A and B are shown apart, each in its own frame.
Chain A
């Protein structure tokens, strides 16, 4: 069975600084997807970034980038130039391709950006 672990329950970062959120996972599948979702206090889950396991290149979306280490089963999220609007709960999620049809979510990291 797949598992997703986020070992940092809470983090804080100064505005304009860079922060990295960690995520590790376990799976026996060779092809899968990994996601970072952001859930601000407004509560909507927003997709931040997506990585396909067969792609070696790390995904990037503006200030957000990932460090995907497939052999180590690690998928960390780097937020550059942090903004107050980045304050949110961040969930790492695993999406398999072998017919399970469900996300496996990590427990989340609460990020607070300080002015």
Chain B
């Protein structure tokens, strides 16, 4: 299995809602990443997990809360988002932090009303 899956594909939420994005991989990768991508722009790194521990937080607002319950699963909990947080959220994984090849999931298109 060489796939990174993400659910849901689309999500619409109000500014007071709490929701979660899910990412899963079964390639045995030990590094997982969350990116935010605005239209016609490159992905921007948000968080990096290595061996289920948070390694990098790119100064992301606390309304985004990542979680890595196990080596295959990565969640992004959303609370009190703003309309400007509307974007495509991409998950990626790599064998480890020293392996420079990331595999991306199909993304979750998030709209904040």
- Bound together: yes
The stretch that binds A, out of B12-20, B63-71, B78-86, B94-102, is: B94-102
Docked-complex contact A106 and B107, CB < 8 angstroms: no
Docked-complex contact A33 and B100, CB < 8 angstroms: yes
Would you call B113 an interface residue if the criterion is a C-beta within 8 Å of the partner chain's C-beta atoms?
Answer: no
The contact string, 1 if C-beta is below 8 Å from chain B, for chain A 73-115, is 0000000000000000101000111000111011110100000
Interface magnitude class on chain A: 20 to 34
Chain A residues with CB below 8 A from B104, complex form: 37, 44-46
Q: Which of B8-57 contact A (CB under 8 A)?
A: 31, 40-43, 45, 48, 50, 55-56
Q: Which partner residue on chain B sits nearest A52 by CB separation?
A: B100
Chain B residues with CB below 8 A from A95, complex form: 100-101
Docked-complex contact B42 and A101, CB < 8 angstroms: no
Chain A residues with CB below 8 A from B48, complex form: 101-102
CB proximity of A12 to chain B, nearest CB, Å: 16
Q: In the bound complex, what is the Cα–Cα distance between A106 and B40 (angstroms)?
A: 12
Q: In the bound complex, what is the Cα–Cα distance between A96 and B48 (angstroms)?
A: 15
Looking at chain A's contact residues, is the secondary structure mostly helix, strand, loop, or mixed? strand
> Given A95-B100, A97-B100, A101-B48, A43 and B106 touching (CB < 8 A)?
yes
Chain A residues with CB below 8 A from B43, complex form: 45, 91, 103, 105
Chain B residues with CB below 8 A from A103, complex form: 43, 45, 102
Chain B residues with CB below 8 A from A108, complex form: 40-42
Q: Which partner residue on chain B sits nearest A91 by CB separation?
A: B42
Chain B residues with CB below 8 A from A11, complex form: none
Q: Which partner residue on chain B sits nearest A94 by CB separation?
A: B100
- 30 pairs across A/B with beta carbons < 8 Å? A33-B100, A33-B101, A35-B101, A37-B104, A42-B106, A43-B88, A43-B109, A44-B105, A44-B106, A44-B107, A45-B92, A46-B104, A47-B101, A47-B103, A50-B100, A89-B40, A91-B43, A97-B98, A97-B100, A101-B31, A101-B50, A101-B97, A102-B48, A102-B56, A103-B43, A105-B42, A106-B42, A107-B41, A107-B42, A110-B40
Using a CB–CB cutoff of 8 Å, the interface residues on chain B facing chain A are 31, 40-43, 45, 48, 50, 55-56, 88, 90, 92, 97-98, 100-107, 109
